[in-house]
């Protein structure tokens, strides 16, 4: 029998996440479902960051931009749906919408397009410059949304209700939770397939030795850009879900500290595993929830934990749990 | 004259005050092993860089298999049939030995925008990779981590990767560098056996290897071609004796 933890741990994780609403019902703590919806959505964003960071060595410090772009796509569509005003005054038939079947794909598409443009420019740089340029782009979007007074500026805007879906009542917190969990499970499965496929091998190769990759005949830039775009698209999906969870959209979603938190989740959980960041997001939010009850300076406790992980568990929590103790 | 597989005319590159290559004319005939020798700083590495496409060319042109490739990016040259090894061993140390070669095979097996099938179970890639490893006598090491190989084995692995795409020309940048006597002898034997399969442009310091394997030798000094000829002609040349070999022998 296969007893490799690498194989069963993700399944246990999925089962545990699936059991959250049940535990919430048993302990009569409905807030638990809301917390874990947050966990699941941030895990989705962190997993997409791990895809480019852990496999492609693209240290993007602006990943929250895509979260924000996805959220604002949903928020702006809902805003126009609520007011009845067309999206563009010149095109009166182009109205807002509250239908998730339109808003979610659109959020993904807009985030992907932005990622394509940002990536096309940023990926011409390396190392520290890449970190700085992705951060700069995220800040640009941050201030763009602050400047958009029509959509609430720095205060953000409220959605009257969640986007609607046929068959699923998104207003019900448990149904919405399972919807988010399905997106997470689907995305994690997809990303795991991709990193093991030819595309992922090229991505890993380029991270390790770019010069060699070019000499072998790979147009490395193209593969990196495709990966960056896919990560941005999934980030956009996470943002769209976050907007729906909170029924509120504000620039704080794409503040640079949000990008930093996503990176902390990835490193805490384990770089280059896709599963790790899910664990990292869970731990991060749990710590935040429990410690923030004592002190608002809960980062004082997270800090040392992060240092210990970086020093003693280079592959993060997931790497430590699945480390084979033999030989 | 037989059609040259690779030919350069007036190939030049300047770095600041240093003229690294200075109107280099080179003709590498198909099916031969052509060596480029010269003292340190003669411009050999710049020449290799220009041929591979990593170093931009100031003046002159490179014609490969009848096409002007002077401005072609590195990866397109690889697809045109130009493979190389690096002076400093350049492998993927975090990959298994087999995956290193499978990656090289993959580079020449269509595009890699494939997202679903597990690459490590692709028979076509693996079988070709194993064949290449067997060709360079690394068949038994396929499952090992590439970073764990001995220095000489890493060189063999580089050769396997270069051969994976069925190149028309192999650019070898000091393959013998840092080799022990025994390792070196094994690699020289391998190069000898490759001579019949692929055209090779060899940059090398080991004169025994150069003189015993080469069909043609070009001597480069201060970026300029001093002479090109058969090993016998080079040995007989007073110019080369004075400028290069004599100085070398004194060391």
CATH number assigned to the domain comprising residue B227: 3.40.50.300
Of B99, B107, B114, which has the smallest distance from its Cβ to A197's Cβ? B114
Which of these three, B111, B141, B166, is where a domain ends? B166
Contact in structure between A228 and A123 (CB atoms under 8 Å): yes
Query: Does position A254 have pLDDT exceeding 80, yes or no?
Result: yes
Query: Does position A1 have pLDDT exceeding 60, yes or no?
Result: no
Percent of chain A with pLDDT over 70: 98
Say what the pLDDT of residue A72 is: 98
d(CA A50, CA A265): 9
Order of all β-strands in the sheet with B82-85: B82-85, B169-173, B199-203, B33-37, B216-221, B224-229
Whether residues B63 and B135 share a domain: the answer is: no
CA distances, B142 to each of A33, A212, B135, B174, B175 (Å): 49, 20, 12, 24, 21
Say what the pLDDT of residue A223 is: 98
Say what the pLDDT of residue A2 is: 53
Does the beta-carbon distance from A212 to B86 stay under 8 Å?
A: yes
Say what the pLDDT of residue B2 is: 54
Whether residues B7 and B103 share a domain: the answer is: no
pLDDT digits (tens, 9 = 90+) for B34-69: 999 998 889 999 999 999 999 999 999 999 999 999
Domain ranges of chain A: 5-326
Q: Between the CA atoms of A250, A251, A252 and A253, what dihedral angle is there, to the nearest 10 degrees?
A: 80
Whether residues B40 and B106 share a domain: the answer is: no
Query: Does position B239 have pLDDT exceeding 80, yes or no?
Result: no
User: Mean pLDDT across the stretch A76-81?
Assistant: 96
Residues of A in contact with B93 (CB under 8 A): 208
User: Mean pLDDT across the stretch A48-60?
Assistant: 96
**Cα A224-A230-A236 angle, rounded to 5 deg:** 135
Which of B74, B76, B98, B164 to mutate to probe the A interface, most A CBs <10 Å? B74
* Model confidence band, residue B101 (pLDDT cutoffs 50, 70, 90): very high
Of B74, B93, B119, which has the smallest distance from its Cβ to A201's Cβ? B119
DSSP state of A253: G
**Residue whose token pair is 């609403």:** A21
Q: Is residue B88 part of a domain?
A: no
Residue of A273, A208, A207 lying closest to B93 (CA atoms): A208
- Interface residue A199 vs chain B (CB under 8 A): yes
User: Mean pLDDT across the stretch A184-200?
Assistant: 97
Using only C-alpha atoms, chain B has a radius of gyration, in whole angstroms, of: 18
Of B78, B91, B119, which has the smallest distance from its Cβ to A217's Cβ? B78
Whether residues B48 and B31 share a domain: the answer is: yes
- Interface residue A216 vs chain B (CB under 8 A): yes
Domain housing B111: 94-166
d(CA B51, CA B74): 9
Whether residues B74 and B102 share a domain: the answer is: no
Contact residues, B window 8-67, toward A, CB-based 8 Å cutoff: 52, 54
H or E element at residue A96:
none
Whether residues B61 and B185 share a domain: the answer is: yes
Query: Does position B250 have pLDDT exceeding 50, yes or no?
Result: no
Query: Does position A65 have pLDDT exceeding 90, yes or no?
Result: yes
Tokens of A106: 């659109």
User: Mean pLDDT across the stretch B91-108?
Assistant: 96
Mean pLDDT of chain B: 92
Q: Is residue B89 part of a domain?
A: no
Q: Is residue B172 part of a domain?
A: yes
ipTM of the complex: 0.91
Does the beta-carbon distance from A198 to B93 stay under 8 Å?
A: no
Does the beta-carbon distance from B79 to A217 stay under 8 Å?
A: yes
Does the beta-carbon distance from B54 to A198 stay under 8 Å?
A: no
Query: Does position B251 have pLDDT exceeding 60, yes or no?
Result: no
Residues of B in contact with A220 (CB under 8 A): 75
Which of these three, B122, B150, B166, is where a domain ends? B166
pLDDT digits (tens, 9 = 90+) for A230-247: 999 999 999 999 999 999
What are the helix and strand counts (H, E) for chain A?
Answer: 14, 2
Query: How many domains does chain B fold into?
Result: 2
Tokens of A211: 């010069």
* Model confidence band, residue B249 (pLDDT cutoffs 50, 70, 90): very low
Say what the pLDDT of residue A124 is: 95
Say what the pLDDT of residue A300 is: 85
Does the beta-carbon distance from A202 to B94 stay under 8 Å?
A: no
């Amino acid at each position: 029998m296969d007893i490799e933890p690498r194989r069963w741990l993700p399944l246990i994780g999925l089962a545990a996440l699936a059991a959250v609403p049940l535990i919430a019902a048993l302990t009569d703590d409905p807030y638990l479902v809301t917390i874990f919806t947050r966990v699941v959505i941030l895990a989705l964003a962190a997993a997409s960051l791990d895809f480019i960071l852990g496999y492609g060595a693209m240290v993007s410090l602006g990943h929250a931009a895509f979260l924000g772009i996805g959220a604002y796509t949903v928020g702006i569509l809902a805003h126009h749906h609520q007011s009845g005003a067309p999206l563009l005054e010149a095109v009166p038939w182009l109205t807002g919408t509250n239908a998730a079947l339109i808003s979610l794909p659109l959020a993904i598409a807009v985030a992907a397009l932005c990622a394509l443009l940002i990536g096309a420019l940023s990926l011409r740089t390396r190392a520290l410059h890449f970190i700085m340029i992705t951060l700069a782009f995220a800040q640009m979007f941050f201030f763009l949304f602050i400047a958009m007074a029509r959509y609430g500026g720095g205060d953000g805007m409220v959605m009257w209700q969640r986007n609607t879906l046929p068959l699923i009542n998104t207003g019900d917190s448990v149904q919405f939770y399972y919807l988010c969990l399905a997106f997470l499970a689907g995305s994690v499965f997809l990303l795991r397939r991709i990193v093991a496929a030819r595309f992922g091998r090229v991505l890993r190769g380029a991270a390790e030795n770019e010069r060699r990759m070019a000499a072998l005949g790979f147009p490395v830039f193209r593969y990196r850009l495709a990966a960056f775009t896919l990560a941005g698209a999934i980030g956009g999906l996470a943002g769209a879900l976050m907007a729906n969870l909170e029924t509120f959209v504000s620039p704080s979603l794409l503040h640079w500290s949000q990008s930093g938190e996503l990176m902390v989740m990835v490193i805490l959980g384990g770089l280059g595993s896709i599963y790790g960041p899910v664990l990292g997001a869970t731990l991060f939010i749990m710590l935040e929830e429990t410690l923030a009850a004592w002190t608002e300076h809960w980062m004082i406790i997270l800090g040392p934990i992060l240092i210990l992980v970086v020093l003693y568990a280079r592959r993060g929590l997931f790497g430590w749990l699945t480390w084979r103790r033999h030989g | 004259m037989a059609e040259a597989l690779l030919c350069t005319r007036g190939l030049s590159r300047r770095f600041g005050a240093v003229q690294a290559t200075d109107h280099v004319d080179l003709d590498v005939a198909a099916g031969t092993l052509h060596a480029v020798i010269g003292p340190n700083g003669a411009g050999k590495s710049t020449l290799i860089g220009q041929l591979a496409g990593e170093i931009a060319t100031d003046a002159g042109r490179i014609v490969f298999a009848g096409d002007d490739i002077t401005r072609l990016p590195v990866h397109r040259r690889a697809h045109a049939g130009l493979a190389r090894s690096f002076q400093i061993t350049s492998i993927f140390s975090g990959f298994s030995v087999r995956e290193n070669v499978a990656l090289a095979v993959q580079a020449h097996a269509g595009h890699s925008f494939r997202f679903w099938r597990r690459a490590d179970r692709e028979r076509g890639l693996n079988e070709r990779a194993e064949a290449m490893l067997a060709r360079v006598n690394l068949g038994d090491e396929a499952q090992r981590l590439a970073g764990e190989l001995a220095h000489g084995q890493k060189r063999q692995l580089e050769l396997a990767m270069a051969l994976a795409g069925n190149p028309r020309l192999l650019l070898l940048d000091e393959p013998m560098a840092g080799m022990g006597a025994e390792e070196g002898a094994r690699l020289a034997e391998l190069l000898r056996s490759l001579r019949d399969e692929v055209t090779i442009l060899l940059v090398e310091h080991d004169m025994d290897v150069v003189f015993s394997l080469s069909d043609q030798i070009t001597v480069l000094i201060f970026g300029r071609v001093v002479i090109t000829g058969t090993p016998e002609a080079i040995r007989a040349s007073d110019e080369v004796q004075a400028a290069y070999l004599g100085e070398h022998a004194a060391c």
